[in-house]
Chain A
Amino acid sequence: MASEQVLKAADYATEVHNDWCPGCGDFGILRTIQMALAEMQLDPSNVAIVSGIGCSAKTIHYVKAYGIHTLHGRVLPFATGIKLANPNLEVICLGGDGDGLGIGAGHFVNSGRRDVNMLYMIFDNGVYGLTKGQASPTLRLGVKTKSLPAPNLNEAVNPLWLALASGATWVARGYSYDIKGLVSLIRQGIEHKGYAFLDVLQPCPTYNNLNTKDWYGGEDLKDDKGRAMPRVYNLASTGYNPVVQAPEDLDGKITQAVSRAMEWGDRIPLGVFYKNELVPTFEERLTTRIPNYMKRPPALQPIADSEGRPLADLTRLLDALAVN
């Protein structure tokens, strides 16, 4: 699309039939992705959206940008390959909580260690939707959704903690019905220099009858005037500052993020928990080995002339192995 044209959120939509259940939290997230792309006026030809497997992973088919729908749990290594081969691309990764924290947990941890400059969003609803509602890694111990035959036997993992422990340099949580807040978080995550992890709470109206829109909205918690008291609230509104500005801030900022990420139940914080741009990104680390990496990354190196003759010159290497 030509750059002079102002793109609206609708310009980032495809004509593909959307087959999510009515009322699915995914709709809100899809909309916020399109809105964030429009807000940033990102050229769809330069954006790759990469997903795992599950209801959430179908998102890429509904967004007009390069869409790579990969394998269950493998969104991060696929996306890392794309991004490192061509770091000029804007890469956004998305998948479900089972995808990222169950089958893909190894990649979740190691992507934190790498700190590749990209955003990873988990659509977090506590269940495996597409396989009909089994307990996911973020469903709490002893909880029984209507899709489960008996209460959940496993403790939940805290995605924010795991992201912090793994080295993610931007850690945030959004909510699929907080459209404005979520658009802002997606944008901040894309703009963050380094690996950004965004956990997005979303209801699964079909299988998770506990963490519903009403529950997040606090319809069951009324104040003395009978008004709902939403469980979700904005961290920033409490004066919370997530940014590591100097190396000596690190301990305090991590501790504060861990502590606030423990909150659950009647009070669920949203927003940026932690942000640290002092850590060199993987791309920056690579330039210490390959000085022209950003200019000539793997996908942008000519490898042959127009006759197909390779451009690599092995003389130096062959000389080292030669015997005469």
Chain B
Amino acid sequence: MAELKVNELAWIIGGAQGSGVDSSATAFARACAYGGLHVYGKREYYSNIMGEHSYFQVRVCGSPIRSHVDATNLLATFDAETIFRHTWHVVDDGAIIYDTNLTKTKLSDVPTIEARLRQDLTTYLMARGLGSTIEDMLKTAADRGATLVPIPYSQLLAAVANENNVDQLSKIARMVNMFAVAGSFGLLGYDYEMLAKALRAVFRGKAAVAEMNVKGAKKAYDAVKDAYPAFPYRLESTGFNGDRRVLMTGAEAVGLGKVLGGMRFQTYYPITPASDESEYVEENQIVDVREPSEPEVEDATAAGETGSVLVMQTEDEIAAITMAVGAALAGARSATATSGPGFCLMMEGIGWAGINEVPVVITLYQRAGPSTGMPTRHEQGDLRFALHAGHGDVPRIILASGDFEEGFYDGIRAFNYAERYQMPVIHLVDKALANSNGTMPIFDPDRVRVDRGELITDGWQGHDPYKRFALTESGISPRAFVGHPGTMFWNTGDEHDEKGHITEDPVVRNLMMEKRFKKLELADREISESEKINFFGDRTAEVIVVSWGSTKGAILDAMDALEKEKIRLGFLQIRLINPFPVEPVMRHLARAKAIVNVEMNFGAQMGGLIREMTGIEPTHRILKYNGRPMSSTELIAALRAVAKGKASKRQVLTVGV
């Protein structure tokens, strides 16, 4: 018997959109997490509501993991398409759970498979002398040694219907996805109670549905449990070492950070994948407020009251940015969240916020462009766009989060930068980060501080009338909100004088232009290096990887794997995009023999920026732009090739389902 592989699993569940793939994956992930296991989940879906294929890969491990992998150890299915699409990625000692009723289904019966893939599948099956049914596809896996696990879904469903007096099977047909989850746990020998708890969490507020699922899914669990002793993969609860963990998506992490950071006004126009954050915040728009301890809150009348976030769904993204700017003028910490096409509409509003020195945060969830591109697919293609958003020279701060935790803390930091330096802040996140989920240590609010910058809150005490854009040494003028006594000011998108009135005076123009950019120099001086970059691995390594954003997880996991092969790398993660951390980047790259620029776009945008800002040109590029995030599997191979001197200057990663 093969050696057991405990707590090292890549599991996939797939199905038609609208059939509950998400909730079944969430139930699976939560059940694993309840047992103390670490989880990383990646969600893939079409721009479609019902019918097209979506899937979720959940990786489970006894130690923290940060990325997905290309191989599948256990494929849980309840439809035909998932079998056709994913079977060839199942490893030789893996398993496939499937519906016994589907074996005769032909490839031609599945219209949602693209022509290119259909052709590839046909060729694959023909080369093995097989036909084009599910049975044939499954045989390719069985021939390689994989375990086939048939589950009679309709029989189980009928039994559940009978026990619960359900008159029509169609009413509970969705339960098959939980059969697939329960069957998986049966096969993996995992504690059923963990799934029962997860189902009660997923169906929170619907106790009857939860219990029916708990009892029903047990049938699938029992049908599989102990029936496949040769299957080598196992999951076992590990418990916790006193640490407390959460399981959440990136969109939730960013939303929570923003709320903790004091965001009280958020605008959005519906767009994938950014809307998830706004919807999460809106669902939780009443904000609990802690009992103020010493020192007292300045406004004691607020004690005991709840706070709230006003989430505005606007008529378009032009209204989203301008409304957010309006709220910021009145004194709220204010933000908008969008994706590429929506960000396109925000250019003029961002320029206005720049020239009027308005602190507003734009959370930009990048997705595959250009134009509508692939709306539900991943890319890091907006780095240059964010840098140059708006016409003319617009001061802005840009930060990029690499994982869930950074998303949370950057959500707070973005507001601090915006208010301290009085300018728009673009917080770059992306589809992979937004829609993936994972276990992580619970956030620590004590680490967080709110910095509102130079504010006039008690009325204007100055001898001369208040000047909103007073010229100062640092470039920062004390800011007042609309409505604070004695601080009357004017704003205009035109160039303006210190009071805010229109001017075309060439001398004042220069003073104002220079004032606005002095703030960026100040930000560069004040922001600590730990907020500008991260460096991981070997500082003396000859090969330094440089990247930004959500490739971080796959890079770190790849580095861990390569370390076991005695390949030691350094990894420079650039977190502050603008003002660009010139000195730290130069310092870390100066000694490297090979600089490997890793990013998820066609143009190697960060690579170009590094060259522009430092004069250093990356020696290698590892890029991906097929809409699917980089896996650690792909990066291991690509980085190994660089380390061994066998890589081309430009490697393009192409794996994706």
Contacts and interface: CB of A to CB of B under 8 A. Distances in A.
A317 B483 CA distance: 33
Interface string A296-324: 11111111111111111111111001111
A45 B298 CA distance: 22
Interface in B345-379: 348-349, 352
A74 interface: yes
Given A78-B322, A84-B312, A310 B260 contact: yes
A46 to B, nearest CB: 6
B492 A310 contact: no
A65 interface: yes
Contacts of A78: 322-323, 325-326, 329
Interface of B: 30, 33-34, 36, 240, 244-248, 252, 256, 259-262, 264-265, 267, 284-290, 292-293, 295-299, 302, 305-310, 312, 314-316, 318-320, 322-334, 348-349, 352, 412, 439, 442-443, 445-446, 448-452, 481-494, 500-502
Interface stretch (A121-129, A157-165, A200-208, A287-295): A287-295
A68 interface: yes
Contacts, number: 268
B246 A318 contact: yes
B353 to A, nearest CB: 11
A302 B298 CA distance: 8
B34 A324 contact: yes
A48 interface: yes
B82 to A, nearest CB: 27
A50 B30 CA distance: 50
Contacts of A86: 330-332, 481-483
A68 B491 contact: yes
Contacts of A60: 490
A85 B327 contact: yes
Contacts of A74: 318-319, 322, 348-349
A81 B265 CA distance: 9
B260 A299 contact: no
A16 B247 contact: no
B355 to A, nearest CB: 11
A58 interface: yes
A88 B299 CA distance: 17
A64 B466 CA distance: 13
A68 B489 CA distance: 8
A321 B248 contact: yes
B288 A313 contact: yes
A84 B324 CA distance: 10
A79 B306 CA distance: 26
Given A69-B493, A107-B319, A318-B442, A290 B245 contact: no
A303 B309 CA distance: 11
Contacts of A83: 326, 330
Contact of B488 (A65, A70, A110, A289): A65
A85 B262 CA distance: 13
A324 B237 CA distance: 13
20 contacts: A14-B501, A67-B489, A67-B491, A71-B348, A74-B319, A77-B315, A80-B319, A80-B323, A81-B325, A86-B331, A298-B265, A299-B330, A301-B302, A301-B332, A305-B298, A309-B448, A311-B297, A313-B288, A317-B259, A318-B256
A66 interface: yes
A36 interface: no
A61 interface: yes
B491 A69 contact: yes
Interface in A35-77: 44-46, 48, 50, 53, 58, 60-61, 64-71, 74, 76-77
B352 to A, nearest CB: 6
A58 B502 contact: yes
B483 A61 contact: no
Interface string A225-262: 00000000000000000000000000000000000000
